[in-house]
Every structure is written in C-alpha cells, then in structure tokens.
C-alpha cells in the first residue's frame, strides 16, 4: 500500500489535516477489512438508535493477521454536517467516553489469516444522553490521533413525523430517467420558533453521501406541516437495480460467478463481465440497494471467523475509456466512497475497466458509477443507464438547533421507498 494512498484515505474519512471534512464510515488502515455496523444483529437496518431505547449497535471488523492487537475506541458527537460539535463528552455521554475492544477471535482454516474484533454501544460503561450524529473511532495502542477505522451512526429522539412519496413525473421530465421525492414534516406539538432557520433537513438515496441533499427549505408551511414538494434539489437519478453476486461457497457458483480458481494459496472469483452500456429497457432485479451480508455455506460454527477472503475480479468491457471522468464501484462493499479503493482502471489491451477487491465470503450488491472530472457526485446513468422505475430508498433526516442551541438535535428520521 503506497503511503500516498494511506494519507489520501485518512484525509477523506477524517478530514483531520486541512480543515474538518465530514466523517464517513470506513477503514482508515489497509489491514482493516469488512467494517460492519449492525442494529440488534440485523443485517440491513440503518445504524440508528432511539434515545433512551434498548437497541444496540454491534460493530466488528477484521485485522488481516493473527497478531492480536490492542484496540480502543472513542465516541464523538457531530453536528448535522458530520463535523465535530461543540459539546464536551460529558454533555452527550453518561459513563466513559472511551473503551477497550476486548472481544476478538482468530480466523480458522482460512487462506487469509485474520482476527475478528467486536464491540457494542451503548454498553455498561457508556450510554448516550443527546440525540444527533455520532462517530465511533477505533485506534491502536492508545493513539486516538491516528484511528484505524470509524463508524458513523445516529441517535434520534422522535419529535416530528415524516411522510413522503417518490414519483417518476418530475419537474423536468415525465416518466424518464429521474425520480422526484416529495415529503412533509409534521411538527405536531413540537415547538420550533422559526422552522426555515432552525431546522436542517438532509436526504440520502440508498445511504449514499456523494449525492445527498442538505440545506433544504420548505416549499410552504401549512399550520404545523412543512411541505417539501416540487423541489428541484430533490430530483435524483433513478439509476438501475444493483448487480449481485454470492461467494458464500467456493464450490458452488452463482449466476454472476464465471469461475472460482485456487492457486494453492488463495481463491480468486471472476465475475462475468458486466455488459452495462446504457439501455433503453428497464430490467427489474431483486436487490438490497447496495448492501451485503457475510455468509458461508460450509460453516457450522462462527461465520465471523470461518468465512474466508476471496479476490473478486470485476470487469466492464468498453471500446475506449471515458476521457472526461472516472469509473467507480458503488455500494457498501466500497463503503460508498469515491476513492482509490473503489476506482476502476482501464486496460487498453483487453478493452475493459477492471478492479479486484478482497472481500469476505457472502452476498454483495454493487453498481458502476461515473464521476466527471472536477466533480464529487457520481452518476449511474453514464455507465449503466437510468430509469424512473428503479427501486430506491430515500432517508430523510430532520435536525433542530433552537435559538441559542449549541448542537443539532436529531428529531426525525424516515425511510421512503418506491
């Protein structure tokens, strides 16, 4: 791993060097893989706790060796934009702001040795007293200034209700490639003196951050109801359904796996080359909007330590590369980040984009994204096409900072699906 790439990944996820950038869920060291956060051990739920509730976030990751390491963690409170808030730890936590990652287990009979580490929050030593955004950072050898991984999650105190719809007839086209989100926020009896100034509303499509929309103002107010309708900022690409593959067995292939090879040391899974040139025909496919689940068909004991790592090879045939931007693999397998870890290269001899990812056995969703030069927002349409019929989920986050407030309360979260 080149030092320049390690620095770039650290800056992207922490923003710790040249001005504070938003925190993002991602590993920060090349030896950390499969960073997962699960609500009550459910695979596909958002990392969202209710203030004062009984839910628990289970966090785990693999360190790619059998050398047991000393990891600790700390929890930071963030503003609505995922930068550090002004609160001291004693203001948003009851108990200790740091803790040890004491639960670990070595992998068994795997071609890649690794150690699986686990922790949970809240726990006996730490609970949350404020709503809002949080980041949990894991660091080694009591060095919090150099985290090796971080997880973003939210704590909500529901005060408002949110209801919305997704339509294909947008303010810019009818039944084409785009989707428009309309929603209303009902404050009910919750007191907000100036909704336009005190509320911050953020919308994410399929938990992506590159195309999230924030700073939304209501189209109009009707009593206690704030309407966000006919807003061009809430027009998104419909995109396409995510591709999928399953590497939970090295003996039984799936429709997307062309072959699995073993070279005497490691396994390599080759996906069928994706013919993803934009099409005019929408194809429906079952997907989970970019998520993945760890699974091993031959396991009778512990998936976390029995599942092996496999080199998964992606390929997209194309006569010539894009000269005005880059192609990336999108989805939770790459933490929805646009960085060197997800960027594909072009092979002029083979006439294709390619990428190899080291992934733990299980089932995965992914898409191909295009990012124009000088931009940070990805497009599915440029590589794969875009259709208003595509199934997506949009999560609306409503934050409130009252006059004189020092932090953003999270007072409402709702996921809207078509």
**What is the domain partition of the chain in residue ranges?**
3-156, 161-238+392-417, 243-384
Q: Kindly give the residue spans of alpha helices, DSSP state H, lying in 229-283.
A: none
What is the predicted pLDDT for the residue at 277? 65
pLDDT of residue 86 exceeding 50, the answer is: yes
Identical fold for domains 3-156 and 161-238+392-417, yes or no, is yes
> How far is it, in rounded angstroms, from Cα 148 to Cα 115?
14
CB 59 within 8 A of CB 120: yes
CA-to-CA separations, 173 to 57, 170, 233, in angstroms, rounded: 41, 5, 14
- Closest CA relative to residue 206, chosen from 63, 118, 335: 335
For domain 161-238+392-417, give its CATH number from 2.60.40.10, 3.40.50.970, 3.40.50.300, 3.30.1330.40: 2.60.40.10
> How far is it, in rounded angstroms, from Cα 157 to Cα 92?
13
> How far is it, in rounded angstroms, from Cα 233 to Cα 184?
15
Per-residue 3-state assignment (H helix, E strand, C coil) for 322-341: CCCEEEEEECHHHCCCCCCC
Residues 163-220 pLDDT 10s:
999 999 888 887 789 999 999 999 999 999 999 999 999 999 999 999 999 999 999 9
Residues 219-242 pLDDT 10s:
999 999 999 999 999 999 999 999
As a whole number, mean pLDDT of residues 236-262 equals 90
pLDDT band at 313 (very low <50, low <70, confident <90, very high): very high
pLDDT band at 8 (very low <50, low <70, confident <90, very high): very low
What is the predicted pLDDT for the residue at 255? 75
Q: Kindly give the residue spans of alpha helices, DSSP state H, lying in 258-399.
A: 303-306, 381-384
Q: Higher pLDDT residue, 393 or 21? A: 393
- Closest CA relative to residue 165, chosen from 329, 349, 392: 392
Enter the pTM of the model. Answer: 0.92
Backbone angles phi, psi at 48, to 5 degrees: -135, 115
> How far is it, in rounded angstroms, from Cα 94 to Cα 96?
7
CB 23 within 8 A of CB 13: yes
- The percent of residues in the chain predicted with pLDDT above 90, rounded, is 84
CB 359 within 8 A of CB 333: yes
Backbone angles phi, psi at 4, to 5 degrees: -65, -35
Burial call 318-354: b when 16+ CB within 10 Å, e when fewer: beebbeebbbbbbbbbbbbbbbebbbbebeeeeebbe
CATH number of 3-156: 2.60.40
CB 268 within 8 A of CB 310: yes
The DSSP bridge partners found for residue 360 are: 309
For residue 253, what are the contacts with CB-CB under 8 A and spacing of at least 6? 259, 260
- Closest CA relative to residue 279, chosen from 241, 314, 305: 241
């Amino acid at each position: 791993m080149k030092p320049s790439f390690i620095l770039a990944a650290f800056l992207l996820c922490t923003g710790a060097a040249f001005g504070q950038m938003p925190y993002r869920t991602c590993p920060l060291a090349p030896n950390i893989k499969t960073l997962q956060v699960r609500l009550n051990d459910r695979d596909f739920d958002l990392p969202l706790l209710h203030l004062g509730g009984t839910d628990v976030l289970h966090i785990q990751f693999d360190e790619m060796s059998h050398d047991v390491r000393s990891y600790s963690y700390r929890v930071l409170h963030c503003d609505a934009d995922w930068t550090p808030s002004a609160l001291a730890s004693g203001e948003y936590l009851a108990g200790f702001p740091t803790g040890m990652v004491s639960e670990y287990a070595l992998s068994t009979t795997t071609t890649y040795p690794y150690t699986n580490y686990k922790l949970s929050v809240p726990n006996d030593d730490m609970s949350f007293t404020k709503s809002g955004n949080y980041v949990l950072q894991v660091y080694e050898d009591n060095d919090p200034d150099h985290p090796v991984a971080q997880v973003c999650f939210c704590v909500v105190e529901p005060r408002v209700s949110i209801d919305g719809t997704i339509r294909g007839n947008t303010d810019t086209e009818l039944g084409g490639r785009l989707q428009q989100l309309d929603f209303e926020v009902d404050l009910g009896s919750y007191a907000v003196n100036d909704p336009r100034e005190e509320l911050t509303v953020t919308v994410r499509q399929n938990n992506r951050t590159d195309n999230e929309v924030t700073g939304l103002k209501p189209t109009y107010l009707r009593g206690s109801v704030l309407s966000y309708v006919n807003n061009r900022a809430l027009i998104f690409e419909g995109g396409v359904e995510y591709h999928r593959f399953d590497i939970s067995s090295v003996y039984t292939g799936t429709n997307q796996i062309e072959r699995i090879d073993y070279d005497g040391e490691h396994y390599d899974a080759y996906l069928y080359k994706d013919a993803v040139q934009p099409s005019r025909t929408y194809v429906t496919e079952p997907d989970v909007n970019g998520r993945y689940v760890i699974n091993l068909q031959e396991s009778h004991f512990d998936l976390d330590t029995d599942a092996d790592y496999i080199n998964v090879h992606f390929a997209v045939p194309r006569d010539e590369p894009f000269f005005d931007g880059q192609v990336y693999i999108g989805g939770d397998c790459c933490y929805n980040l646009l960085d060197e870890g997800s960027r594909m290269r072009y092979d002029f001899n083979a006439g294709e984009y390619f990428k190899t990812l080291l992934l733990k056995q299980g089932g995965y969703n992914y898409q191909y994204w295009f990012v124009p030069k000088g931009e940070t927002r990805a497009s599915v349409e440029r590589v794969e096409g875009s259709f208003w019929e595509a199934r997506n989920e949009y999560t609306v986050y409503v934050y409130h900072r009252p006059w004189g407030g020092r932090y953003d309360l999270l007072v409402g979260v709702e996921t809207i699906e078509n």
